[in-house]
Structure 1
Amino acid sequence: MTIFTEQHPGVEQKVPPETSGFTFNHTMLRIKEPQRSLAFYSRVFGMRVLRKLDFPEMQFTLYFLARVDVDETVPEDVGERTMWTFSRRGVLELTHNWGTEDQADFAYHDGNAEPQGFGHICFSVPDLATAIHWLESNEVTFVKRPEEGKMKNVAFVKDPDGYWIEIVEAALMSQMGR
């Protein structure tokens, strides 16, 4: 079977066979207040905590979140669920370093302030207009609405720690960036 993807300078022509089975599993964001962030991602984006891992000796906790289909079977056994969590795609890891919630002036760099680095995560939605209405009804902070700027049909919102989240509808993206 031939795998077609775009070719650009620097892209290997063939996929190294040694990478067979590699899966992009998760992206990690540091959070200040777990309850606030977990409420946001579960309520606004429908994500569920797959696994929570505490590391008392290093004073941090990891929360692994993802969208779970209604008919999907989630392993009840903790070890099996941990393996299942690390085998999935599209997982968001929220890392809480203990004590940050008690520091009034503490904030993580969102990646978009200077100097820029990390940019955003993205959710693809079935209907952008419906999603925008949902985000508005949940009083989510908008960075950019779909009708604003040069890139139409793309929205950006902020999570409780100020990280940007892009919102797109795949059907509206076919003419993007030609």
Structure 2
Amino acid sequence: MALKFKFIHNNINVLDQEKSIAFYKEALGLSEVKRKEHKDGDFVLVFLGDGITEHQLELTWLRDRTEPYDLGDNESHIAFRVDDFEAAYEHHKKMGCICYENKDMGIYFIEDPDGYWLEILPTRDK
């Protein structure tokens, strides 16, 4: 029997959920698709979608967390492909969120308010 698994979401923890939601909306056009608030306010989960795929980004806010998250070497990242790479680059440059560029590979990374890196890739022919 071959099991089939489907990607549903990625999760990251954030200190200021509203600031993060605003960043992902401005930087990547993501919007809130659902929210789950724990009954006693311990945590809030906000799921963002791109309106194109079913995949979501879950932003978790924990009430008792006050210190920035230790991202270690921050070698993990989430990648986004964009239809107009040059326009996206200019938009992110104006936002001041580009944190690394690899012109040889034709990609760059932006950094969110919590220090997570997001890879931006152009649409390429196969």
TM class by shorter-chain length?
0.7 to 0.9
> Aligned pair 1:56/2:39, yes or no?
yes
Q: Does the 8 Å CA contact 1:47/1:66 hold for their aligned counterparts?
A: yes
Q: Does the 8 Å CA contact 1:110/1:164 hold for their aligned counterparts?
A: no
Which residue of 1 is the match for residue 25 of structure 2?
A: 42
What do the CA deviations read for 1:128-174 (whole angstroms, capped 9, x no partner)?
Answer: 2211001112222x221242xxx4201011000000100001317x6
Pick aligned residue for 2:49 from 46, 50, 66: 66
Which residue of 1 is the match for residue 58 of structure 2?
A: 93
TM-score norm. by structure 2 comes to: 0.87
Q: Does the 8 Å CA contact 1:111/1:119 hold for their aligned counterparts?
A: no
After TM superposition, list the pairs within 5 Å mapping 1:5-20 onto structure 2: 16-17=1-2, 19-20=3-4
In structure 2, the residue corresponding to 1:171 is in which secondary structure? coil
- Which structure has the highest strand share of the two? 2
Please report how far the alpha carbon of residue 89 of structure 1 lies from its aligned counterpart in structure 2 after TM superposition.
2.9
Point out 4+ residue stretches in structure 1 off by more than 4 angstroms. none
Give 5+ residue unaligned stretches, structure 1: 1-15, 70-87
- Letter paired with 1:44: A
Q: Does the 8 Å CA contact 1:52/1:62 hold for their aligned counterparts?
A: yes
Pick aligned residue for 2:14 from 11, 28, 31: 31
> Aligned pair 1:110/2:93, yes or no?
no
Identity rate, percent: 26
- Letter paired with 1:132: Y
Partner Cα separation in structure 2 for residue 121 and residue 112 of structure 1: 15
Which of structures 1 and 2 has the bigger CA Rg?
1
TM-score norm. by structure 1 comes to: 0.63
Q: Does the 8 Å CA contact 1:111/1:163 hold for their aligned counterparts?
A: no
- Letter paired with 1:30: N
Partner Cα separation in structure 2 for residue 66 and residue 111 of structure 1: 27
> CA-atom RMSD, angstroms?
2.1
Higher relative contact order (CA 8 A, sep 6+): 2
Partner Cα separation in structure 1 for residue 123 and residue 83 of structure 2: 8
